[in-house]
Structure 1
Amino acid sequence: MDATAIKAIQNDATTKYINEVLAVDLNNIAVAIPDNAKLQSIEAFQLVPNKYRAKFITHLLGEFLSYIDQHGSSDTDVFIDAENEKAKAIIDLGNPLEPKWGKHTATLILKKTPSFAALLQADNAAFSQQLFIDFIEDYNDHIAFFTEEDGNVIEISNQKAISILRKLTVNSSSNNEHQVSNFAASASAMEKIEVKAGEYQLPSYFIFNSRPYEGFSDQSFKCSLRTVHHEKNVNLKYRIMQKESQLEIIAEEFRHHIKNGINEADIYIAIGTLDYQ
């Protein structure tokens, strides 16, 4: 008997002994395999798979909730990540005492409506006059302009607002100032720059109404309007006022929809994320 055969017999004996120990001490949760052994799954040749594996992904809130209602059970947990506009259900999670494989999941990735996405993208960005007018025309149904006169708020039609914004001009004037005292003298030159639209007053702000995501309620965003000049050119900017508070309201609605939209009472719902398996 050559050395190779002797070594093979020794390996087989060692493997057998280790597996006997593992069966007693670890309840067969691990096995020893010889170096030259190869594991081969025969699941592909069976009539049915050993376990259900599926990853459902949607950007529609209603479809996500319907899927959980159809497949969810007391083994299902749902995790809401409102900050990243996502929610994930692990259908076959189980629990710490009776864990399951967690191979069946449903994921909701919210998709912003076109108007909401445009509003956030252009926040605090500089527009030329024409580009800002294009923005108004593209989202005409979502925008309402307002101005303030003597403490009164007056709504301006979008057509009038566009007409005013077309007429913007930059006026500048210089003012020299000289001050003298007993012990010092100073001189300064100040340039006053003003953006006007003929005899019309520029809008103070506008309200942008938009549904952030499908299945959500409409939200109203107040946006302050400002002008930025460069030499003879005028750019326009808007800033969403109290933006973080507005986004938190939307996030709270997201959590509300998930918690109140799942009919299975035994499903656990948490705020956060979970890494499993």
Structure 2
Amino acid sequence: MPQTVDASAITQIRDLVLAGNLPELLEKADCPVAAVPEGIRIQSLESLKDGRYRFRGKLKTASIPDFVRYCKEYATSPGVRCFIDADEMSAATVFNLGTLEAPGHADNIALLKLKKTAPFAALLDIDGRKKTQKELAEWLEDWNEYLLAFSADGEVLDITKAVAGVRQITIESVTSQDHEEQDFSGKRSLMQSVEAKSKVVMPAAFEFQCTPFEGLPIRRIKLRYSILTGGDIPVLVLRIVQLEAVMEQIAGEFRDLLVAQFNGTGVETFIGDFSAQ
């Protein structure tokens, strides 16, 4: 009768075949390795030595100066490249990317991810949000050192008086009726105008000056100030003028800064994102 081969026997046959190829594989390995009986697998012995076979690691930082200094100090081999993603305000330097003729493992890297400063984060948070008089006045008081206020004529206002103007707003409503009567027709119209005024000085616009991300220059950001009078109480809105253009300019400053920092060094810069396959 034919004999059947169970699963354990098949596994043993496979392991014997793999074990026969191990000597050749071990001789080709660049670092010390050993064959582990369990499953006939290869185990690195690097952890048993005093030092690593090669340097590898990952630096994560939000500091541009520290990122640049680290990259310059460790850019000792050819093919070191920094990939800049301006949209994400981040960059990645790969130290052992190698070349086409001698590719590296690409596992020794430095990562830079900028963080918004507290003033800039607060500005983005309030952008376009509807606020009561009290809420907006308190926000202006909290960040007054970064603010300039302007009148409708473009004159700079004292920020304390501008905040007082936000706190003291009067809504005036005027209703007018027109009547026209003719022999065979008549016309009536009703018009209502609503105007917001302040008992003190009324600010027309603001300007916010801050460093958007650590390591970048101070930026002056214009804010449009609007008063919505449709409800029972006035609703106030601050909106950044051309926000998308502002963010594009900040991203451009970040990109140009890194390119300039690595100019003439062993770090070659590229615009984009990179991942080793």
Range of TM-score over shorter length: 0.7 to 0.9
2:122 corresponds in structure 1 to: 118
Instruction: Quote the Cα distance in structure 2 between the aligned partners of 1:207 and 1:9.
Output: 76
Please say if 1:42 is aligned against 2:45.
Answer: yes
| Distance apart, 1:237 and its partner CA | 0.8
* 1:195-246 deviation digits (Å, cap 9, x = unpaired): 1113x45211111111112221111111110012353311211111122222
Please state how far the C-alpha of 1:52 moved relative to its aligned partner: 1.9
Q: For the Cα contact (< 8 Å) 1:93–1:99, is it kept in 2? A: yes
Identity %: 26
1:217 aligns with 2:221: no
Q: Identify unmatched segments of 5+ residues in structure 1.
A: none
How many angstroms apart in 2 are the aligned matches of 1:247 and 1:183?
63
Q: Name the residue aligned to 1:146.
A: 150
Structure 2 spans left out of the alignment, 5+ residues: 30-35
2:92 maps to 1:88: yes
2:55 to 34, 38, 52: 52
Corresponding position of 2:109: 105
Q: 1:106 deviation in Å?
A: 0.7
| Residues 164-185 of structure 1: per-residue CA shift (max 9 Å, x gap) | 1121122223334567899987
List per-residue Cα deviations over 1:45-66 (Å, max 9, x = no partner): 1222233221101111111101
Aligned residue number for residue 247 of structure 1:
247
Q: Secondary structure at the match of 2:44?
A: coil
- Single out whichever of 254-263 and 57-66 deviates more from structure 2: 254-263
Task: Write out per-residue CA displacement over residues 90-131 of structure 1, whole angstroms, 9 at most, x where no aligned residue.
Answer: 111112221101111111110111111111111111121112
8 Å Cα contact 1:147-1:205 kept in structure 2: yes
The TM-score, its normalising length taken from structure 1, stands at: 0.82
Aligned residues: 264
Q: CA deviation at 1:15?
A: 4.5
Q: Cα distance 1:16–1:163, how it changes in 2: closer, same or farther (>3 A)?
A: closer
Of the structure 1 ranges 188-197 and 104-113, higher mean CA displacement relative to structure 2 is found in 188-197
2:104 corresponds to which letter in structure 1?
A: K
Cross-structure match for 2:175: 174
